[in-house]
Amino acid sequence: MFDTLRRRHVALLAAVAASLLLSGCNSVDYYSHLANGQLQLLNAREPVAELLNRPTADPALKQRLALAQQARDFASAELALPNNHSYRVYADIQRPFVLWNVFATSEFSLAPELHCFPIAGCVAYRGFFSQGRARGAAALLKQQRLDTYIGGVEAYSTLGWFDDPIINSMLRWSDERLAAVIFHELAHQQLYIADDSAFNESFASFVEREGLGQWRTAQRLPPADAQGERQRAHFTALVMASRERLQQLYDSDLARAPMRAAKQAEFERLRTEYHALSKREWAGNGRYDNWINAPMNNAKLLPFGLYDQWVPAFAALFEHVGRDWPSFYQRAATLSRLTQPERREALIKLSAGT
């Protein structure tokens, strides 16, 4: 699950940045940074078709881009995702991540500090095109006694405002992961609602996972690594259970000092349970060791609440409509028009199979 954080998050659009600059927003430097970063990305684009026909282009790059075009075709033809010029262009940004997102929570809360913008609405993170800027922002938030976490992002969606490129940061991993990123980001173009990050990311995560399964079948690829899938499911369940216990702790009337001690004890419990699981079920194959052994805080747990919370609900909805993509999108759009409390109740019922 933690690798999901690295590649996903909806962008703060350059159009948003421009509108905020014109409105006299106090954070002019930040929005100027966003606008400049987006502009640099747009200027770096070139058509994939031209690269594929260029004799001097790197053969390995051409192979990956050709695969990406197959996945792009599949996304619209078989998954009914938007058919436009996104992911028909390529940009080499000369760095491993396109964005670094900063998450923050208060010391005794799992609710994210929200950042609100026109069009994109309120989101659970703040993005930076510079890792140094992200670290600086996190340091300032820490001075306010907030828990913070920084995650590198491989790709993002401009929600159809621009032709989103395949970025070199998307090519660092496997062919399947490249296809998965394309499905995920196009899902954000298909449906996105302001002010509900958990809905948006869970929706896109479901489209990605189901779409990748169908892609494997169509490409006659072997099934997903069953052991890896089990490890991810077990790990995610551990973290979600820890979140639940922390939420109960923060909802209690415990004084601050003992609550702080109990918070740290919960993180140690999570580590202990993880290492026991790794030894018992995974033969010591510590796939998530780096994540679990690094410093822990509330903000680090935020992505698990965003990307996994409603995936079972969307999976149930997909089955309810006979696994038909257009019908699924129509029903998901109906959910998006509910008020947030109504939508949450509907998703809970779907998750429970009722």
pLDDT digits (tens, 9 = 90+) for 250-296: 999 999 999 999 999 999 999 999 999 999 988 877 789 999 999 99
Structural domain ending residue among the three candidates 186, 218, 250: 218
d(CA 11, CA 34): 9
Q: Which residues have C-beta within 8 Å of that of residue 49, sequence separation ≥ 6?
A: 88
Per-residue confidence band for 221, with pLDDT thresholds at 50, 70 and 90: confident
CA–CA distance from 302 to each of 6, 77, 184, 232 (Å)? 13, 34, 19, 16
Per the structure, the count of domains in the chain is 3
Predicted local distance difference test score (pLDDT) of residue 140: 95
For residue 117, pLDDT over 90 is answered with: no
Q: Report the helix count and the strand count for the chain, using DSSP H and E.
A: 15, 8
Burial class (CB in 10 A: 0-12, 13-18, 19+), 217: exposed
Read off the tokens for 216: 């494997």
Per-residue confidence band for 13, with pLDDT thresholds at 50, 70 and 90: very low
Burial class (CB in 10 A: 0-12, 13-18, 19+), 62: middle
Structural domain ending residue among the three candidates 167, 183, 218: 218
How many other C-beta atoms can be found within 10 angstroms of the C-beta atom of residue 133?
18
Q: Are 183 and 218 in contact (CB under 8 A)?
A: no
Nearest to 122 by CA among 130, 114, 111: 114
The beta-strand segments (E) located in the chain are 45-47, 89-91, 99-105, 115-117, 121-123, 126-128, 147-153, 166-167
Looking at the fold, whether 294 and 347 belong to one and the same domain comes out as no
Range in 166-175, 209-218, 300-309 with the lowest mean pLDDT: 300-309
Looking at the fold, whether 188 and 71 belong to one and the same domain comes out as yes
Looking at the fold, whether 167 and 253 belong to one and the same domain comes out as no
d(CA 8, CA 99): 10
Per-residue confidence band for 3, with pLDDT thresholds at 50, 70 and 90: very low
Looking at the fold, whether 132 and 255 belong to one and the same domain comes out as no
pLDDT top residue among 227 and 277 = 277
Predicted local distance difference test score (pLDDT) of residue 24: 39
Predicted local distance difference test score (pLDDT) of residue 76: 98
Predicted local distance difference test score (pLDDT) of residue 29: 86
Q: Fill in the DSSP letter of residue 220.
A: T
For residue 102, pLDDT over 50 is answered with: yes
Looking at the fold, whether 69 and 190 belong to one and the same domain comes out as yes
Structural domain ending residue among the three candidates 199, 218, 237: 218
CA–CA distance from 110 to each of 1, 39, 145, 212 (Å)? 18, 34, 14, 30
Task: Taking residues 158-177, report their average pLDDT.
Answer: 92
Looking at the fold, whether 328 and 345 belong to one and the same domain comes out as yes
Q: What is the pTM of this model?
A: 0.84
Q: Which residues have C-beta within 8 Å of that of residue 290, sequence separation ≥ 6?
A: none
Strands 89-91 and 166-167, sheet pairing: parallel
How far is CA 290 from its chain centroid? 19
Looking at the fold, whether 8 and 109 belong to one and the same domain comes out as yes
Looking at the fold, whether 109 and 245 belong to one and the same domain comes out as no
Predicted local distance difference test score (pLDDT) of residue 119: 64
Looking at the fold, whether 235 and 187 belong to one and the same domain comes out as no
Q: What angle do CA 71, 76, 81 make, to 5 degrees?
A: 110
Burial class (CB in 10 A: 0-12, 13-18, 19+), 190: buried
Read off the tokens for 240: 């979600």
Looking at the fold, whether 284 and 321 belong to one and the same domain comes out as no
Range in 46-50, 194-198, 340-344 with the lowest mean pLDDT: 194-198
Looking at the fold, whether 105 and 162 belong to one and the same domain comes out as yes
Please report, rounded to a whole number, the percentage of residues in the chain having pLDDT higher than 70: 92
Structural domain harbouring 144: 2-218
Predicted local distance difference test score (pLDDT) of residue 122: 81
Looking at the fold, whether 235 and 265 belong to one and the same domain comes out as yes
Read off the tokens for 287: 């796939």
Per-residue confidence band for 222, with pLDDT thresholds at 50, 70 and 90: confident
